[in-house]
Structure 1
Amino acid sequence: MSELSVFVDESGDFGALAAHCPFYIVSLVVHDQDEPIDAQLGRLEKVMRESGFDRYGPVHTAPLIRREAPYSELDGRQRRRMFDALFAFSRRCSMRHKVILVDKRWFGDGDALEERIARELGEFLRENISFFQSYDRVIVYYDRGGKRR
Structure 2
Amino acid sequence: MGDEQRNKDIVRTVEQLWIDEKLDQLDQYFAPNDHSHDRPPFLPQGLAGAKIAHQGSMKSFKDRKLEMKDLFAEGDKVFVRSTFSAQYMGGVPGIAAPEGGTPIKDIESWSVYRLKDGKIVEHWGLNDGFAIAMQTGALEMPQMAEAPAGR
Normalization by structure 2: what TM-score? 0.23
Structure with a larger share of its residues in strand: 2
Give the number of the structure with larger relative contact order, counting CA–CA contacts within 8 Å between residues 6 or more apart. Answer: 1
